[in-house]
Structure 1
């Protein structure tokens, strides 16, 4: 596994052991004020690391964090596994202005990667937030929004859904315990149709996908927030979802994002995952990092430091 700087492209790939890893980027850019994004961070944390945070992770001029909307495709054991499905087009998300009626070209980007919807065997939702489950479904006709009929985008796939999140965000818990209208809308257009189609697999404890890939819980960001571990040959990687939103949280793992529901539990999960990644030289693959999108970490003081960015094969 070679680690070096890499410039962003829409589709990139690397091989870890016997698993091909394909990064599919739908969008990347400045999105949220940095200290609103990571409220426990300080201006100094960003400024002191400007030389490597900018421009891929922080835009100093606007003081906005840079965010990527992306998914990861794993070709493992003869099957195609898709990790997270971004925002989805034409969704009613009134509480999330950035994503309300979003229109992107996610399926076109998957096609660039050589992946058709019917080719996907497994969909992994690391957690049930709006920017991770949107393309679970698509409109059955030409309509979107409140009048749409939503059907599974990946008709041949099993969808692996953390049971704790399915309960929390579903009708059993009053759609996120009544936290927001977006939670109800998310469940009804992106999760409930998967259940109705008989494609949903609720898992808890841990879930082995194949000899190389295993899902494990890492709660805090959401009740069912999870990570996917890859182990093949001498190579290791951990796809951490939203456990880490910004490299600032690698340097200061006690800092949570503004989206973490259980702050104490999220920080504990983050430190635990980073401790193991540093000890075992796992490539850390967060859901929203710009630039190379993935990194190796090392222990450094009371936190962790950058050991190197992911490198991709030449196109």
Structure 2
């Protein structure tokens, strides 16, 4: 899914900051009419003879107070299998956090019951994030109506099916993959680091929604359980990319979906990833 045409003013960045960085923001991250876009997708990683799904999107048939997500009926599974990977082939599912647009396709409705979509996978649930959304802890956190029912539809059925692994972070998944903390957006928000062929990438979830938040971590667009932790996570991401040339792959950037933090005369900037040609 793609939500286009959002005024850049809705991001909360100053006009001066936008204008100063316009040269690299355009055309991907600042679009026609001074607008920007949010994308919603899953990532599929194949490494170490494993198939890992990161952030399985919104899911069909779920009520939501936000009209664009209410009772979706989209061909997610058909698109998924068009990659050549069947849902039965998935070894692990990892949710950076448990907002509805990151864990919806953990399950699907079958015969009036929510059942795991990936029947042979182990679902890696970070304990801290699981505890944050467990109904027993609801009173400890601000209510988020757009996330009502997510635990019951997308989390509990996986646990009841015996497919959930509650893990502490950091957590090593395989020689090339590890879960690491990225707290703030939610109490247990985490990221997945990929190290392969002497290169590194971080699937950063909702640590940022727009690259300007790496340049100015105080831009507040996006909910947060801990605002101080959000800013610290963003600073750490930017420093990591600068020092180690780590590719940052957030959840919601438009094409080309990822990039690197660099420095130049203008200070820090974000270089859009240039995908390799097949």
Query: Which stretch of structure 1 is more off in the superposition, 295-304 or 253-262?
Result: 295-304
Instruction: Give the superposition deviation at 1:176.
Output: 7.1
- Secondary structure of residue in 2 paired with 1:98: helix
CA contact (8 A) 2:114 2:153 kept: yes
Q: Partner residue of 2:74?
A: 104
Consecutive unaligned residues in structure 1, runs of 5 or more: 1-26, 142-147
- Secondary structure of residue in 1 paired with 2:38: strand
1:267-292 deviation per Cα after TM superposition (whole angstroms, max 9, x unaligned): 11110122112101111111111111
Instruction: Give the superposition deviation at 1:214.
Output: 0.3
State how 1:1-315 maps to structure 2 within 5 Å: 27-30=1-4, 32-36=6-10, 38-39=11-12, 41-61=13-33, 63-94=34-65, 96-141=66-111, 148-174=112-138, 177=141, 179-299=143-263, 304-314=268-278
Distance in 1, matches of 2:47 and 2:80, equals 17
CA contact (8 A) 1:31 1:67 kept: no
Instruction: Give the superposition deviation at 1:80.
Output: 0.4
Q: CA 1:217 to 1:300, structure 2 compared with 1: closer, same or farther past 3 Å?
A: farther
TM-score using structure 1 length? 0.81
Q: CA 1:228 to 1:134, structure 2 compared with 1: closer, same or farther past 3 Å?
A: same
Distance in 1, matches of 2:30 and 2:73, equals 24
CA contact (8 A) 1:281 1:296 kept: yes
- Secondary structure of residue in 1 paired with 2:233: helix
CA contact (8 A) 2:195 2:201 kept: yes
CA RMSD of aligned residues (A): 2.1
Distance in 2, matches of 1:176 and 1:184, equals 15
Q: CA 1:300 to 1:240, structure 2 compared with 1: closer, same or farther past 3 Å?
A: farther
Instruction: Give the superposition deviation at 1:152.
Output: 0.3
Query: Which stretch of structure 1 is more off in the superposition, 167-176 or 150-159?
Result: 167-176
Distance in 2, matches of 1:310 and 1:186, equals 35
Instruction: Give the superposition deviation at 1:60.
Output: 4.1
Query: Which stretch of structure 1 is more off in the superposition, 98-107 or 271-280?
Result: 98-107
Q: CA 1:304 to 1:261, structure 2 compared with 1: closer, same or farther past 3 Å?
A: farther
- Secondary structure of residue in 2 paired with 1:131: helix
Distance in 2, matches of 1:233 and 1:59, equals 34
Instruction: Give the superposition deviation at 1:30.
Output: 0.9
CA contact (8 A) 1:175 1:184 kept: no
TM-score using structure 2 length? 0.92
Query: Which stretch of structure 1 is more off in the superposition, 121-130 or 269-278?
Result: 269-278
Distance in 2, matches of 1:135 and 1:118, equals 14
CA contact (8 A) 1:93 1:185 kept: no
Query: Which stretch of structure 1 is more off in the superposition, 269-278 or 103-112?
Result: 103-112
